[in-house]
Structure 1
Amino acid sequence: MTQQTVPQQTVPQQTVAQRLASLAADVRRDGLSDELRADVSRRVLDVLGNSIAAADQPAARAVTTVATAWGGDGQATAIGAGTRLPAPAAALVNGTLAHSLDFDDTHLPSVLHPSSSVVPAALAVAEATGASGGQLLDAAGVGIEVAVRLGMGGYDRELGNSVFFERGQHATSICGAIGAAVSAAMLLGLEQKGITDTIGIAASMGAGLLEANRTGGTVKRMHCGWAAHSGVVAAQLAKHGLTGPPTVIEGRFGFLHAFCGDQADVDAVVDRLGEHWELPGIFFKPYPCNHFTHAGIDAALQLRAQGITPDDIVDLELGAPTAVLRTIAEPPEAKARPESGYHAAFSGPYTLAAALIGGGGLGVGHDDFTDESARDESRLALAAKVRCVPDARCDEIFPNQFPAVVRATLRDGSTREVRVDVNRGGPGNPLSADELALKFRTNASHRLTDDAAARVAEATFDLPNAASTTELMSLVT
């Protein structure tokens, strides 16, 4: 009798979306480590502080007015508005607030701000579903991780920059929509299949262009709000039966190819997934302005600490990575005289002047980016002395850091140079617990007393033990 060989069956390899969903399902079941939960709680506090500070911004008021007019059941808190909205609408408002002052955390080298999309979505759904504080932190942590890993899928190492950014696409909102969706799906109780569908749905919703960084407009302020809104809606649709393609990330007509073409790096999205977490290395911002300007601010603050005053300065040269000059230096006339406080936050010349003349908070603060400050002739006169140039060493370091070098020519003919290779607020130069607390108090000071701010911080850091998010959100209404 001839023995027949039974062919071995090959187990189908999981798609990228399925692997991301598997991680989410595992964490929903088992929870994050205590260390990662503690890190996420710091990011929740950072988002709350940034949101409270932005509550009176015109863009925030516009979005809140529209979202409130939609009506619907009051499921979740709109921060600073004193009202409750349906979860997607609350996510839209709070995501807009979180990103409005450009004070949100940054992941390198993907160059995106993950928490401003993900945390508002997670907060809205957690409040609507009565999830515990630990469940909120788990969902937000995974959502942030997914967002930055998708951003890494669009990072070209040979180019030394994000392909999203090179194409004028706002990776923060594009990738953030999927990260927000994963967090929302976890809090809605979806299993791996449902989370995979949620990713497939949300991938059709992410959008955002960066032209406002160059020439004006306030639309960028709501990018994270729309990403948060999209994420919540995607998860709700998946829960009720809408499906998405399992190959939505790596497919021929999928997310990465559509946005980044042949420069996409699919492997980067899932490299050591579940073993290595990008989450703890995400930078907190010490200054409420575009992160590309921060090293220049650090250098200017060092010059100021050396006793150099604006009257001493004849000429200033700001050396930066070539890729960032399009954001902080072009067009030169607009950057030397920004049209508003918001546009000043994206100006290399203005932020140098603010560091040398003004300075609040952790060195440069919100008062440096009011419309009135942006019209201050003493700042504009100093900004007019700044020349922005590409710097070879900065190009070598970027975008693992956002370095800068500042060279000042003084009236006595001497020159001073300060080079900053490592950004303040990241793993190489972290903000202390006291500095993070100062940032939150400064953000909240116009709306909360010191005692109230302390209660918010206490409730946030106690989220791992909280039965719900009700107490925390009541404190920021």
Structure 2
Amino acid sequence: GYRVNKQFNRVAMSIIKEEGGAEQASILFEKKKYPVGNAAFMNAAYAHGADMDDGNRKSAGHIGTHVISSVFALGEKLGVTWKDIIVAINVGYEFFNRIAGAAQPGLYNKGFHSTGIAGAMACGAACAKLMRLDRCGVYNSVSLSAIQSSGLIIIDESGQSCKPINPANAARIGILSALMAEKGLLSSRNPLESKKGWFHAFTDHVDETILLRGLGVDFTIGESYLKLYPTCRHTHCCIDGVLKIRERMNDKNTFLPNIIEKIEVYIYPSAIKSAGIIRNPRSQEEAKFSIYYAIAVAFNNGDFSIEDLQVEKADPVINNLLAKIELVPDPLMEDRACGIRGARIKVVLGDGEILEETILIPKGEGIGALDWNDLQIKMHACSYGIVSEEISKWVINRCMNIDANETFGSVMSFFDKDLRLLGYKDQHDC
């Protein structure tokens, strides 16, 4: 996100620098520390800037970007252990996935972005847990966060570079709410279920099964998906399907983009609503939200990487493929109860041959979950040009071997010891 969403990052960081304030928590790539709320805001913006962050299909939103950013920033200020950090993160995931999941699909249909709307409460709960507030304190932190919930999904139509402001605000709201609750501020009662509360404001139906089933036993963080491509999740089943068809064509030595007559994509309606509007993206931000572009790039390049977001450098063949793609709404490609959110790709060749592939669950979720090797490859791809491959490997190694009893420190000092072993003075020297 630091690499891709540069204009938003530059503007937001310049305002944070102008504000200054207490040096409490670290912002990635900055030597100076900033107020804890602003640090969480900026790190969350970076985390969501390339749409490579994790998510949950039931809640239809991203969680780590705001929950982890708020917990890391506040944890640095408080001086807690990694066990405290991990427990708080789990609490944040539970609040987000259960509340947002129970409100879907009404939440999305009304035009709200669950990442921000439910993210505020998730961060409020996670930060209250990290501060070890009592039941009353947690309640008031969540209530204060619910009052401030915000975020419109219009950013998947235009102004996509501003999308990270929703999780960024959620992170800052959660911290503010927890700090206010710690000081004894009493907030509204029944913030979720009141007729003037969160559920009534943001959805027409509440799925109490998602909200309550397995509460305290089955932790929803285990349902998270991890992305392989820097695009809206709705494009991933299409990319996976195209790559399989391309592989089959290569096996027969028949792959040439110019022999493709037509590409029909049967996909669930909400995917078209989110990422089926833009056929010819004009910027990196628009490229992330174009099923058409994702399919054309995957067919031509055999992958979809961060570099492929640079539409101005796209191969002319991609433009030819864009005109051959047709999106067909197919409600059968989505079943929330069964975890299905897929697409059927039908490729018609010039000689009349038809190749089809159906992907019901994109890679990175369920039986197709990523392993540590996949994550190492993704880490290197994301950090290319920012840190060396050597350091990216150290990051993964540290994540694999966290000592729960170790003092957290900060998001940056997490790596200091290892960086010194590699010959760097500190994290900024790399």
2: CA distance between counterparts of 1:281 and 1:460?
19
Name which of 454, 458, 470 aligns with 2:397.
458
1:253 counterpart residue number: 196
Name which of 200, 212, 224 aligns with 2:143.
200
Q: Give secondary structure in 1 for the equivalent of 2:164.
A: helix
Name which of 168, 173, 192 aligns with 1:230.
173
Name which of 109, 115, 118 aligns with 1:166.
109
Q: Give secondary structure in 1 for the equivalent of 2:340.
A: coil
One-letter amino acid of the counterpart of residue 329, structure 2: P
CA change 1:401–1:66 in 2 (3 A) is: farther
1:96-111 alignment, distance < 5 Å:
96-111=45-60
1: CA distance between counterparts of 2:396 and 2:258?
41
Is the aligned partner of 1:57 residue 2:6? yes
2:185 counterpart residue number: 242
1:203-218 alignment, distance < 5 Å:
203-218=146-161
Higher relative contact order (CA 8 A, sep 6+): 1
TM-score using structure 2 length: 0.91
One-letter amino acid of the counterpart of residue 67, structure 2: V
CA change 1:211–1:136 in 2 (3 A) is: same
Contact 2:26 2:410 in 1 (8 A): no
Is the aligned partner of 1:365 residue 2:312? no
Is the aligned partner of 1:420 residue 2:363? no
1: CA distance between counterparts of 2:207 and 2:202?
12
1:411 counterpart residue number: 350
Contact 1:109 1:401 in 2 (8 A): no
CA displacement at 1:467 relative to structure 2: 2.3
| Aligned sequence identity (%) | 24
CA change 1:445–1:178 in 2 (3 A) is: same
2:242 counterpart residue number: 300
1:311 counterpart residue number: 258
2:31 counterpart residue number: 82
Q: Give secondary structure in 1 for the equivalent of 2:328.
A: strand
1: CA distance between counterparts of 2:337 and 2:268?
6
CA displacement at 1:385 relative to structure 2: 1.1
CA displacement at 1:358 relative to structure 2: 2.4
2: CA distance between counterparts of 1:470 and 1:118?
17
Is the aligned partner of 1:381 residue 2:323? no
Name which of 439, 446, 457 aligns with 2:378.
439
1:17 counterpart residue number: none
2: CA distance between counterparts of 1:71 and 1:269?
40
CA change 1:371–1:221 in 2 (3 A) is: farther
Cα deviation code 1:347-402 (max 9, x no counterpart): 1110001111225xxx32101112424x5432222112101111243145688232
CA displacement at 1:473 relative to structure 2: 1.6
2: CA distance between counterparts of 1:397 and 1:202?
27
Contact 1:408 1:415 in 2 (8 A): yes
One-letter amino acid of the counterpart of residue 386, structure 2: R
One-letter amino acid of the counterpart of residue 301, structure 1: L
One-letter amino acid of the counterpart of residue 265, structure 1: D
CA displacement at 1:133 relative to structure 2: 1.2
Cα deviation code 1:307-363 (max 9, x no counterpart): 233122111111100222111212xxxx2211212111111110001111225xxx3
Contact 1:142 1:182 in 2 (8 A): yes
1:3-14 alignment, distance < 5 Å:
none
Q: Give secondary structure in 1 for the equivalent of 2:185.
A: coil
Contact 1:250 1:266 in 2 (8 A): no
Q: Give secondary structure in 1 for the equivalent of 2:84.
A: helix
Contact 1:325 1:388 in 2 (8 A): yes
CA displacement at 1:466 relative to structure 2: 5.1
Gaps of 5+ in 1: 1-50, 156-161
Q: Give secondary structure in 2 for the equivalent of 1:349.
A: helix
One-letter amino acid of the counterpart of residue 364, structure 2: G
CA displacement at 1:217 relative to structure 2: 4.3
Q: CA RMSD in A?
A: 1.9
One-letter amino acid of the counterpart of residue 310, structure 2: T
2: CA distance between counterparts of 1:380 and 1:319?
21
1: CA distance between counterparts of 2:244 and 2:174?
42
Q: Give secondary structure in 2 for the equivalent of 1:301.
A: helix
Q: Give secondary structure in 1 for the equivalent of 2:73.
A: helix
One-letter amino acid of the counterpart of residue 327, structure 1: S
1: CA distance between counterparts of 2:337 and 2:259?
31
| Poorly superposed stretches of 4+, deviation over 6 Å | none
**How many residues align structurally?**
411
CA displacement at 1:471 relative to structure 2: 6.4
1: CA distance between counterparts of 2:53 and 2:178?
24
Cα deviation code 1:90-125 (max 9, x no counterpart): 010011111111111121222111111101001101
Q: Give secondary structure in 1 for the equivalent of 2:151.
A: coil
CA change 1:305–1:398 in 2 (3 A) is: farther
Cα deviation code 1:244-286 (max 9, x no counterpart): 223111112111111113x123453233210121111111111
2: CA distance between counterparts of 1:395 and 1:265?
17
2: CA distance between counterparts of 1:471 and 1:124?
7
2: CA distance between counterparts of 1:115 and 1:450?
24
Contact 1:441 1:450 in 2 (8 A): yes
Q: Give secondary structure in 1 for the equivalent of 2:230.
A: coil
CA change 1:265–1:465 in 2 (3 A) is: closer
CA displacement at 1:464 relative to structure 2: 3.6
2: CA distance between counterparts of 1:399 and 1:173?
26
Name which of 130, 143, 146 aligns with 2:95.
146
Contact 1:325 1:390 in 2 (8 A): yes
